[in-house]
Amino acid sequence: MFTMKTKIVTKLFKQACLFSLALISFTIVAQEEEKKWFDNFSVNGSVDGYFRYNIGAPNKAYDLGQGAGEEFAAPGTSFADRPGFALGMANLILGYEGEKVGFVADLVYGPRGTDAVGNNSGSASASIVNQLYVYWNVSEKVKLTFGNFNTYLGYEVISPTGNFNYSTSYMFSNGPFSHTGLKADFAIDEKWSAMVAIMNPTDQTDFNPNDTYIIGAQVGYAADGGSAYLNFRYGNEGDPGPVEPTFQVDLTTGWDLSEKFYLGFNGTYLDTDGDGFYAAAFYPQFQATESFAIGLRGEYFNVFVDDDAVDDVDITAITLTGSYDVGNLTFKPEFRIDSSDDAFVDSDLQATSSLSSFVLGAIYKF
C-alpha cells in the first residue's frame, strides 16, 4: 500500500513538473516572440529650446521705416534667430524595421519644425511632417525609399541632435531641406555606395503643384576613420519656362584625425540660369573629456546674380560652440560673429558690417 501510494505521488509529481516546464517554456517562447516583434518598432526623438542675445545690436523688434515691417537682429540663417528665451521643437520619430520592409514617421511641432517644413505646398498635414516614407530592402545591395525624406545634400540637418553647432550655416539655410519622391540606394561594396532619385521640386513635400521633377544622385565612400559624399541635384524647381533648371553639386566629408580630433568639410555650388551661390565651411571639433567637446564652424558664403550692375554678396560666419552632456541632456553654449558689408544694424539702428551673438541651446534626446 505504501509503495502504491509512493508511486502515485511520484507520478503526480512528475506530471506536475512536466506541466510546469511546458508552461514555463511556452511563456518564454511567447515572451521571446513578443519581444522580437516589439523590437521591430522604435520610438525616439528630441526636445530643444534656447536663449539668444545679440552683442552690440538690438534684442527687440525694430522698424527701419522702409516698408519691411518689424524685424529682429539675427544672422540670415534658419532656426536659432529669435531673441531671449525661445522654443525649438518637439520631434517624435516612429519607425518599423522589418527584415525586408519598414517605415519612418518623423513628426515635428514648434517654431523650428515650422521653419523646417512650413515652406512647402501649404497643406495642413505638412506643417508637422518632417519625414514620412516607406522602404523596401530589395536585396542586400539595393534599397528603395518612397515618400518624404530629408535632403541628402549638405553637412547639417534639421534635427539639433544631428549637428554639433546649435545655430545653422548659410549653406544649410539656403539649400534644400526635404524631398518627396523615389530613391534607390546601392551598396557597391563594403566602402562604396551610390544613390539615384527622382523627386518633386525641392521642399514641395506634400504633392507636386508644378508638373516638373528633379533628379538627384550621390556617390559615397565610408571607412572606419570617416566618410565622403559627392551629391548632385538637377531639374526645374518651379513652373516650366519662367524658371530655368537648377544645378547643384555638393561635397560633404568628415574624418577622425585622432581619437580626440575630428575635421569636417562642406563645399557647395548652386546655379539657376546664372543666379546662385557657392560656399565652403570647415568643422574642426575636439573631444576634451567624455562629456565635453568644443567645435568651430568657419564658413564663407557668396551669392551671385547674372547682372553686371549688381555686386556679389560675401558673407563670413565664425561660430564657436561647446557641447556638454548631462545624461541625455546636452547644453550648447555658442558665440557667433557674422560679417557682410552693411548687412546688419547696431544698437543705434545704423548699418554695420558685423553681428555678434550668444546662444545657449538645450537639447534632450530620447
The CB-side HSE value for 293 (13 A sphere, CA atoms) comes to 18
Q: Are strands 313-326 and 261-272 parallel, antiparallel or unpaired?
A: unpaired
Return the C-alpha cell found at 29. Answer: 517562447
Is the pLDDT reported for residue 5 higher than 90? no
* pLDDT confidence bin for 28, thresholds 50/70/90: very low
Q: Which of 205, 219, 265, 272 is nearest to 244 (CA)?
A: 272
3-state per-residue secondary structure call for 339-356: EEEEEEECCCCCEEEEEE
| Nearest-5° Cα angle at 340, 336 to 341 | 145
Is the pLDDT reported for residue 338 higher than 90? yes
Q: What is the pLDDT of residues 227-269, one digit of tens each?
A: 999 999 999 987 766 778 999 999 999 999 999 999 999 999 9
Task: Give the separation between CA 80 and CA 352, rounded to whole angstroms.
Answer: 21
- Taking CA atoms, 206 is separated from 178, 196, 293, in Å, by 11, 21, 38
Q: What is the pLDDT of residue 243?
A: 77
Supply φ then ψ for residue 113, to 5 degrees: -65, -40
Is the pLDDT reported for residue 157 higher than 70? yes
Q: What is the pLDDT of residues 145-156, one digit of tens each?
A: 999 999 999 999
Mean pLDDT of 31-40: 63
Mean pLDDT of 63-84: 87
Q: What is the pLDDT of residues 108-154, one digit of tens each?
A: 999 999 999 875 544 544 579 999 999 999 999 999 999 999 999 99
Q: What is the pLDDT of residue 4?
A: 44
Q: Does domain 45-365 have CATH number 2.60.40.420?
A: no
* pLDDT confidence bin for 16, thresholds 50/70/90: very low
Task: Give the separation between CA 51 and CA 63, rounded to whole angstroms.
Answer: 23
Q: What is the pLDDT of residue 29?
A: 47
Mean pLDDT of 23-39: 55
- Taking CA atoms, 192 is separated from 26, 188, 224, 231, in Å, by 45, 5, 13, 14
Instruction: Please provide the average confidence, as pLDDT, over all residues in the chain.
Output: 89
Report whether 328 contacts 310 (CB < 8 A): no
Quote the pTM value.
Answer: 0.86
Return the C-alpha cell found at 184. Answer: 534607390
Which residue ranges make up each domain of the chain?
Answer: 45-365
